[in-house]
Structure 1
Amino acid sequence: MFLTTDYFSEIVTCCKKSPIGKQLPTALYVHISAIDSLEIILQEYEKKARLTEKIEGATIIKFATDRPTISYLFYPDFDSDPHPALTLSIVVNLDTEKVSYWNYKNQKNPPILHRKESFITLDYPQYETFSHLTNMEEELDLLSLNVPIGTKEQWEKRLNRKRIIFEGHYLACDCPLFPQKTFTIQIERHKAAIVRNAFSRPVRLALDLLLFDEETTFFDYGCGYGGDVERIAAAGYKSQGWDPYYCPDNHKRIADIVNLGYVINVVEDINERREALLNAWQLTNKVLIVSAQVLIDDRDRGVIAYGDGIITSRNTFQKYYEQEELKFYIDQVLEVDSIPIGLGIYLVFRDEMEAQKFRASRFHSRAKTPRLITKVRRFEDYEHLLQPLMEFYTERGRLPAKGELRNEVQLKEEFRSFRQAFKVVLQVTYEDDWDMITEKRRQDLLLYLALSQFDRRPKMRELSPEVKQDIKSLFGSYNSACVMADAMLYQVGNLEIIAQLCQKQTLGRKLKNSLLIHISVLEKLEPLLRLYEGCASRTVGRLEEANVIQFSWRIPKITYLYYPDFDDNPHPILHSRMQIQLNNLRVNHSDYEEEENPPILHYKDSLVSPDYPLYETFKELTEKEQELGLLDDYHQVNRLQGWLKFLQENNLKLDGYDLIED
């Protein structure tokens, strides 16, 4: 069979452009079930290679792009083995029609497969299982390109070093406490309860977000030792709780706020887990707080796979969710659109209008009431009446509608209308300052509406009265606002535009392929960059206490970083980092708290705006360090030990923000 150069070139082009299959530098690998999804020319090309009946039963087809060959690879345990071994390879040369056979069946160290989902199509029955496994392996750094893992022995060596084993398609630690892989276990759920000396994270976040008011009632479903119940009561709220082990006789009470804190991840029975979520929701009047452990590197805790989770060395069950998986589970069971407020923490509002009000508030940027630039007697005489009007305009970017201002009657008695009253305000302030506030509020609303498109954009009737009025005043109609929001959302997917905006920013530190900012700068960025970050925070949530954000533009990614002593430490130490891939919402969390040589931060002045309280202090230190050449070799000083060593070599030390000779 003679193949022309042009024909083979066309085959190579189709292989390299194929959205189906796994691409490697010199070949395209496709599962046999996906052949019909390939371009017709590739299907016909593959049919030409069927020169022997022995290819029946092949699992993977390899289209070589450096020579006219097709290989039929046999992985009999493709579905059942997380990393199946190759047993037979049949190579067909379509130019010479020569067929070669390579038998691996009795080899001790055969090639094995990784990333099985890359060979198949999305509708393959086990696609999600395979994909989830790959995600977990990447989280645990098992698939690093720097370590050979292509054969059985190489892979086992890698797993042994990481102390990891498999139970089906689930990962677990190789724990000596449980030498047998098949057994029946009595799970002791109550041991998962934690004695706390402060509010749990979910409850503390709810307090920080001002979800509690004077009349709020609280119920903790699965309260464990009852720490949150006691502390909420001590804060002056009506508070009760129930736990199947520690206080089973307590009544389950309906409450405004119900907390289901780290409960669903300790219930090993899937049906009971679902029932707990539904029961907690049934008790909720206003807001349900749902939290669960999310997937992070947990290989050192001594655990073993069990069902769809793990059993810890304390004989408790833990289901580790991925962040987006947790949201999907809550939304599916309760038929809602839950709101992330932290890693593994979601809110579910009973009233959709309240949910939308909360969502909109999260994109409400700060604004200062314009300063007075002159003295006008009429303003001075009525400043006490005009001040609430100015505050309202600063908050909403518009004049009030009827019934929105607390001193409406008194103001209208004197000025007849809000507009007439505001004319007096304009006599003592710059009108441009008010226009900037209006534009800021327009952009805030566009962000909210654009990001609401990810799930289900609310109908006009589901919006709170104040947001309805905002849209009417600032856009004319809801439809007009939505059209503008969709246009923004369309642009945010263009990484070239994101790159251009990042590179043009006057705020933030520009790195090779990213922009680094302090969180205080976020609301000062271009609206499209705020939307880019919102794609991460709206769907997954920000890292709790994150104070630095990194915008990547080479790949769609947002990274949140937490430096606990950002203001006090001249070179703060990185505590934790959370990366969110915007194309698939995968979350990668890293903790540096116990590292001996963690990353540290330089050039803090470049991350903040000039109006930041310590900007001048940061700037003076950076300039002095640059003058002394301390930052010339950044790779030498970007971690703690390297920085301390470099200071010592130069007989220098830091006393607060003073760089002095040692």
Structure 2
Amino acid sequence: MIENTPVKIKRHRTAIKRASFSLPVKCMLRDGLLDKSKTMFDYGCGHGRDLDLLENMEIECTGWDPSFRPDAAITRAEIVNLSYVLNVIEDINERSQALHKAWSLCDSLLTVAAQIEFAAPDKEQEQFGDGVLTSRQTFQKYYNQHELREYIESELGEDAITAAPGVFYVFKDEQAKQQFIANRFHRRITVPRRRISEVLFEQNQDVLEPLMGCLTQYGRLPAPEECEQTAELVDRFGSLKRAFKLIQKVTDESPWEEIAQKRTEDLLVYLALARFKKRPPLSKLPVTIQHDVKSFLGGYKIACGRADALLFRAGDPDAIDQACQRATVGQLVDNALILHRSSLDYLEPLLRIYEGCARALVGEIDEANVIKLHRFSGKVSYVAYPDFEKLPHPPLRQRIKVSLPTLSIDLFDYSHWQDPPLLFRKDELLHNEHPKAKLFQALAKQEERVGLLPTADSQLSASKWQAKLEQAGLQLRGHRLITKNT
């Protein structure tokens, strides 16, 4: 360890020249937090590549950097990005000052990103302060995910919401924060189709179709401020209820009952996960969520009680195991339920909360398209199989395992493996409504008929799979097995 040594840290060397957006900016764009309606200031912008790319999108943004843009103005903005700055500052007090300065500059959202442990290089580095000294005479502080969140929260006294590994959002407005969290668990539902024709509906289609959109979005009759056509609907039908009666007549009642049930479940999932931090009083929630609570669950106390019961059960391995066995989607193996990420919406609330607990810790992992819910250990794995839909048996690229009991995250990188394991039985991971479910099912049945399909709990490498195909005189053409050389 280097102690009391006059080492000159060369911070400017940590700035990366990148071709695409940094991860924090990708997260903000993905989550709809950054667009043309917002202004952004990048505090410690390095070479400024994010700024160039955002300007190309006509998003108003500026930045300052002590090495590369020292003369630029430090200005306020709706969003401030503090991207990979904290981890290169060796002085603890200066690190804190940078975080507080960035927080003081933002009007609505601060995004903080820092290097985390599994991004650290494998080679051994010299310890320096609470981090390491690199061979390029730069300083790096590698946080673990939980440590970084706790640091941000202890410094600012505000909740840090996980966006991705090493990336956090800190909102200035409580309602905006709660709406963001709720939106994460608000499932997309298509508007029910009309079953029969009705003259009165056709005559009023201009106001009834927007109402159908609102009913699908909320799962209930919208409040006056939630539907632009409210006044016109009341004028034509006397009330929203009467307009809804006509809609039910032409679409049937059952689809709307199903939507209401799904929205109730979404609300319970959100309220359960909101308990991770101090759940806000009802008056601090967005008005739309206040309406949801009253309409679906009768009151806030009742709603919180039901949500707490679900959250408590999410920590019970027996309850998780039983829920996995009840699941109507996914592949059930000895120790887990494995499913495609698109199938999450079809799980019961308990399992969605279980997965949501892991996501609250690790954030969104965009590359991960397969999720493994461990039935007994309190772990959730996020697995990346590139080209899942294109390749009949995509290779394993990356696996991130989140342990809820220990709040730890482990990364397993297979990108450099010469002979990675392949994924089989893709159809079992999908819900039947997935557009490619039948295609994948047909391939699995073909492979099963000729005795090539591995068991669900076994792995087969690319080379071993190819050898089995060669031995059988078969080859794959897309998602079909054919005789070789035909």
Q: TM-score range by the shorter chain?
A: over 0.9
> What letter is aligned with 2:101?
N
From 309, 333, 343, the equivalent of 1:487 is 309
Return the structure number with greater helix share.
Answer: 2
Quote the Cα distance in structure 2 between the aligned partners of 1:370 and 1:471.
24
Query: What pairs with 1:431-580 in structure 2 (closer than 5 Å)?
Result: 431-580=253-402
Query: 2:15, 2:47 within 8 Å by CA — same for their partners in 1?
Result: yes
- How far did 1:641 drift? 2.6
Secondary structure of 1:346 counterpart:
strand
Query: 1:604, 1:618 within 8 Å by CA — same for their partners in 2?
Result: yes
Query: 1:636, 1:642 within 8 Å by CA — same for their partners in 2?
Result: no
Partner of 1:206: 28
Query: What pairs with 1:284-323 in structure 2 (closer than 5 Å)?
Result: 284-296=106-118, 298-301=120-123, 303-323=125-145
Partner of 2:203: 381
From 219, 237, 244, the equivalent of 2:41 is 219
TM-superposition CA deviations, 1:17-46 (whole Å, max 9, x none)? xxxxxxxxxxxxxxxxxxxxxxxxxxxxxx
The question of 1:656 aligning with 2:478 is answered yes
- What is the TM-score with the length of structure 1 in the denominator? 0.71
- How far did 1:413 drift? 1.0
The question of 1:601 aligning with 2:423 is answered yes
- How far did 1:440 drift? 0.6
> What letter is aligned with 2:221?
L
Quote the Cα distance in structure 1 between the aligned partners of 2:149 and 2:32.
22
> What letter is aligned with 1:443?
E
The question of 1:353 aligning with 2:175 is answered yes
- How far did 1:646 drift? 2.5
Quote the Cα distance in structure 1 between the aligned partners of 2:169 and 2:421.
33
- How far did 1:636 drift? 7.3
Quote the Cα distance in structure 1 between the aligned partners of 2:162 and 2:354.
17
Secondary structure of 1:574 counterpart:
coil
Query: What pairs with 1:603-618 in structure 2 (closer than 5 Å)?
Result: 603-618=425-440
Query: What pairs with 1:5-404 in structure 2 (closer than 5 Å)?
Result: 167=1, 183-296=5-118, 298-301=120-123, 303-404=125-226
Secondary structure of 1:210 counterpart:
coil
Quote the Cα distance in structure 2 between the aligned partners of 1:370 and 1:651.
48
Please report the RMSD computed on the Cα atoms of aligned residues, expressed in angstroms.
Answer: 1.7
Query: 2:272, 2:307 within 8 Å by CA — same for their partners in 1?
Result: yes
TM-superposition CA deviations, 1:233-284 (whole Å, max 9, x none)? 2211211000010011111110011111111111111111111111111111
From 638, 647, 651, the equivalent of 2:460 is 638
- How far did 1:632 drift? 4.2
199-208 vs 624-633, which moves further: 624-633
TM-superposition CA deviations, 1:597-648 (whole Å, max 9, x none)? 2222100000001111111111111111111111246787522232223323
Quote the Cα distance in structure 1 between the aligned partners of 2:89 and 2:49.
20
Query: 1:323, 1:344 within 8 Å by CA — same for their partners in 2?
Result: yes
Query: 1:631, 1:637 within 8 Å by CA — same for their partners in 2?
Result: no
Alpha-carbon distance change, 485 to 633 in structure 1, aligned in 2, over 3 angstroms? closer
> What letter is aligned with 2:110?
L
From 391, 401, 405, the equivalent of 1:583 is 405
Quote the Cα distance in structure 2 between the aligned partners of 1:525 and 1:582.
19
Instruction: Report the structure number with the largest CA radius of gyration.
Output: 1
> What letter is aligned with 2:57?
A
Secondary structure of 2:419 counterpart:
coil
Alpha-carbon distance change, 237 to 543 in structure 1, aligned in 2, over 3 angstroms? closer
- What is the TM-score with the length of structure 2 in the denominator? 0.96
639-648 vs 238-247, which moves further: 639-648
Query: 1:508, 1:516 within 8 Å by CA — same for their partners in 2?
Result: yes
- How far did 1:300 drift? 3.1
Secondary structure of 2:393 counterpart:
coil
Secondary structure of 2:118 counterpart:
coil
Quote the Cα distance in structure 1 between the aligned partners of 2:455 and 2:253.
49
The question of 1:419 aligning with 2:241 is answered yes
Quote the Cα distance in structure 2 between the aligned partners of 1:460 and 1:283.
29
- How far did 1:314 drift? 1.9
TM-superposition CA deviations, 1:434-478 (whole Å, max 9, x none)? 011111111111111111111110111211111111111112211
TM-superposition CA deviations, 1:338-389 (whole Å, max 9, x none)? 1111111111111111001111111101212112111111111112210111
Alpha-carbon distance change, 346 to 632 in structure 1, aligned in 2, over 3 angstroms? closer
Query: 2:64, 2:74 within 8 Å by CA — same for their partners in 1?
Result: yes
Instruction: With a CA cutoff of 8 Å and minimum separation of 6, indicate the structure with the bigger relative contact order.
Output: 2
Query: 2:398, 2:415 within 8 Å by CA — same for their partners in 1?
Result: yes
205-214 vs 585-594, which moves further: 205-214
Quote the Cα distance in structure 2 between the aligned partners of 1:632 and 1:599.
12
Structure 1: which 5+ runs fail to align? 1-166, 168-179
Secondary structure of 1:296 counterpart:
helix
Secondary structure of 2:224 counterpart:
coil
Query: 1:460, 1:478 within 8 Å by CA — same for their partners in 2?
Result: yes
What fraction of aligned residue pairs are identical, expressed as a percent?
Answer: 41
Query: 2:187, 2:266 within 8 Å by CA — same for their partners in 1?
Result: yes
Query: 1:219, 1:241 within 8 Å by CA — same for their partners in 2?
Result: yes
Query: 2:371, 2:382 within 8 Å by CA — same for their partners in 1?
Result: yes
- How far did 1:198 drift? 1.2
Quote the Cα distance in structure 2 between the aligned partners of 1:222 and 1:244.
7
- How far did 1:660 drift? 2.5
Structure 2: which 5+ runs fail to align? none
- How far did 1:504 drift? 2.3
> What letter is aligned with 1:399?
L
Secondary structure of 1:286 counterpart:
strand
